[in-house]
Chain A
Amino acid sequence: MPDASPQVLSHRHLLGIQGLSRPEIEALLDMSEQAIEVSRQVEKKKTVLRGRTLINLFFEASTRTQASFELAGKRLGADVMNMAVANSSVKKGETLIDTAVTLNAMRPDIIVVRHYCSGAVDLLARKVGCSVVNAGDGSHEHPTQALLDALTIRRRKGRIEGLTVAICGDVLHSRVARSNMILLSALGARVRAVGPSTLLPSGIDRMGVEVHRTMETGIADADIVMMLRVQRERMDGAFIPSSREFFRFFGLDAARLKLAKPDALVMHPGPINRGVEIDSEVADGPQSLINEQVEMGVAVRMAVLESLAQHLPNG
């Protein structure tokens, strides 16, 4: 990765997959391939972000995404600060914009934000002078997750164009599903949304995906079966009656996986609920890419941070 590479992203923020062009996505994936090599070396340090400050601002708890961004930033040489929102002034009633303005005054270069409200990251981005990366906003977008999923698929299948990808489970609440639907469709995959009607968003049939309300039809002949996490609080009768009923009709077990293509691969953004949306035999089985996704996550985030650094003053 030469530090003087041409600009990959046309924008100084990464707020969503929506708005990215296919060449931008492909360039990010290509850059990520190089980042994998860096992460697999003994010496994992690069210097493109040396002297830069990266703030991880997480309004919603997340272990893996936060750690992944932290590692990505450190491997590029940045100083990384994690804002633990539970202990911050946000709990004392400070508004999101006040928080943004305060942080901005500390002159960070990149802020990585996760927020439980859709659109919150976009709002924050308009109030700060630095680059902002969306690490998940409400039920809206989680662009780095979609990029890492695409990278994982592309490396294992050699392509994305023409593949059938079934995104299964709680599509309604899933920002991962939304970002993936946009990204995978943009790269030419046939995307299916699979779940009970109570977990499918209104108007899903007009969002460029095939809609399936049973797993049997939804994963039939799929190349990729992407399971989504179902929050416990949604299985107590609010959206679905119980976790046992969900597993009976929408859980991925070895028998059901046989309906997909013989070489189908299983993905999950994690953390998994064993025995709810996915059976351990499948999650830990040979078709599972779940751990590989985690490795790709660091690489993709390195690529994203590096390409945003190209927009920084003197960058």
Chain B
Amino acid sequence: MNFRSNTRPQAIALVNARLIDPAAQTETRGGVLVRDGNIVEIGPMVTSAAAQAGERVIDCGGDVVCPGLIDMRVFIGEPGAEFRETFATASAAAAAGGVTTMVSTPDTTPPVDDPAVVDFILRRARDNSRVRVLPSAALTKGLRGEELAEIGLLQEAGAVAFTDGAHSVRSSKVMRRLLTYARDYGALVMHVPQDADLAASGVMNEGEFASRLGLGGVPAEAEVIMLDRDLRLVALTRGRYHAALVSTALSLESIARAKAAGLPVTCGISINHLTLNENDIGDYRTFLKLSPPLRQEDERQKLVEGLASGIIDVIVSDHNPQDVEAKRLPFAEAENGAIGLETMLSAGLRLVNAGQISLPKLLAAMTTRPAEILGLPQGRLAVGAPADLIRFDPDEPYVVDPAKLHSRSKNTPFDEARMEGRVKLTMVAGRIVHE
């Protein structure tokens, strides 16, 4: 099922499909012909009748066919936390969820702050991953926020972006130098803005609900204060900056202002923050303990509006597998994080089916925009583009069964949830990796 093979892939025609090109925001009927790993023909002329000998024809029965998803934020446990996730299990989950490119986070053990670790990840991924893996590397040595990591050498080794994982860079001086230095290399700084002091005692969103549960809160200001600092430094340095995870309406105001000022700024949000709110924590459900925390429902609605209006560029799964022991703890002591590779698309379709965003727009935030930010040729349905494609029926109902998820860890916040739109086929570089 690995898409890397020395044999020539069979030509495949996906016919009778609802073709969505999120790059052009178009929707047409027809088929896609794939040969030698690339899209060679698109449109109503690609039919089973037009198929030539040796081509495999797949009748999609009116299902959506679109570019595969590009997930900019995936924790994969290699090296060092293979008990949580491996390239094999993460990529199986990705393939099942329609994710054809994963950007791995650098908070491994050891962290990805040395070119040799980038090399290790690329080799392990080559041998074990069903989908594409692009490593992100550390911004600072040891993710400690103190000393610049070897951004030039890490980029040469294959790192596509730079982040300290879940850690925020506390020192403004260090952040300024990072943005300045990274700009010379055209490197993307992906930062999770959070003021560690202000957030220190919090384990969920600050407010009435946290107070009723007796849990410490993280105010929205912990995020926006750090974000505003970062944006000031972007204005000073002109370094490329991506706020990796935003969770509050205040942050969207700041991002919108920065974009209006022409700064090289983009932002991402986890699918969880678009589809869940703090009330889902309910009776201390640790699978919903996330960082940044889930916010109130009115905040969530503003975030969805921000996605629809384009202030938010990218949706990520923020896939963060945690083993049972890390979650079967009192809420305050449990680890943060939820898995999401396999459910990201279905969860996003909830927004489409609720009429809050169009399907092409949702898909753009999972395909075209991440491709543009990372400078990838994927993320569009166009002749000559790599044949990273998925097929799904956006209305097909199913219930999430954690036991059947491919991830090694089962900490899904959508445990037993009713979903629509299971992925029926995933293709990477013209090879089917999930069907």
Is the pairing of A and B real? Answer: yes
The reply to whether the CB of A242 lies closer than 8 angstroms to some CB of chain B is yes
A241 touches which of B150, B156, B237 (Cβ 8 Å):
B150
Q: Taking CB as reference atom, which chain B residue is nearest A250?
A: B152
The reply to whether the CB of B329 lies closer than 8 angstroms to some CB of chain A is no
A244 and B153 contact, CB distance less than 8 A: yes
The reply to whether the CB of B183 lies closer than 8 angstroms to some CB of chain A is yes
Give chain A residues whose Cβ lies under 8 Å from the Cβ of B151: 241, 245
Q: How large is the interface on B (under 10, 10 to 19, 20 to 34, 35 or more residues)?
A: 10 to 19
The reply to whether the CB of A288 lies closer than 8 angstroms to some CB of chain B is no
Give chain A residues whose Cβ lies under 8 Å from the Cβ of B156: 248
A240 and B181 contact, CB distance less than 8 A: yes
Q: Which of B140-148, B217-225, B319-327, B399-407 interfaces with chain A?
A: B140-148
B152 touches which of A197, A236, A237, A248 (Cβ 8 Å):
A248
Interface residues of B in 173-217 (CB under 8 A from A): 177, 180-181, 183-184
Interface residues of B in 20-54 (CB under 8 A from A): none
B183 touches which of A197, A214, A237 (Cβ 8 Å):
A197
A196 and B181 contact, CB distance less than 8 A: yes
A245 and B177 contact, CB distance less than 8 A: no
The reply to whether the CB of B234 lies closer than 8 angstroms to some CB of chain A is no
Q: Taking CB as reference atom, which chain A residue is nearest B113?
A: A241
- Residue pairs across A and B with CB atoms within 8 Å: the count is 48
B148 touches which of A213, A237, A244, A248 (Cβ 8 Å):
A237
Give chain A residues whose Cβ lies under 8 Å from the Cβ of B381: none
Give chain B residues whose Cβ lies under 8 Å from the Cβ of A248: 152-153, 156
Q: How far is the CB of B273 from the nearest CB of chain A, in Å?
A: 33
B181 and A197 contact, CB distance less than 8 A: yes
B147 and A245 contact, CB distance less than 8 A: no
Q: Taking CB as reference atom, which chain A residue is nearest B149?
A: A241
Q: CA of A128 to CA of B64 in the docked complex: distance in angstroms?
A: 85
B152 and A239 contact, CB distance less than 8 A: no
**Given known contacts A196-B181, A198-B181, A249 and B152 CB-to-CB distance under 8 angstroms:** yes
Q: CA of A240 to CA of B182 in the docked complex: distance in angstroms?
A: 11
Q: Taking CB as reference atom, which chain B residue is nearest A196?
A: B184
A197 and B146 contact, CB distance less than 8 A: no
A238 touches which of B147, B150, B153, B180 (Cβ 8 Å):
B147
B180 and A197 contact, CB distance less than 8 A: yes
B177 and A239 contact, CB distance less than 8 A: yes
A-binding residues in B (CB < 8 A): 140-141, 146-153, 156, 177, 180-181, 183-184, 237
Rank and list the top 7 A-B pairs by shortest CB-CB distance, nearest first: A237-B147, A241-B150, A241-B148, A245-B150, A197-B180, A237-B148, A198-B181
Q: Given known contacts A196-B181, A214-B184, what 16 new A-B pairs fall within 8 Å (CB)?
A: A197-B180, A197-B181, A197-B184, A197-B237, A236-B147, A237-B146, A237-B148, A237-B149, A238-B148, A239-B148, A241-B141, A241-B149, A244-B150, A245-B150, A245-B151, A249-B152
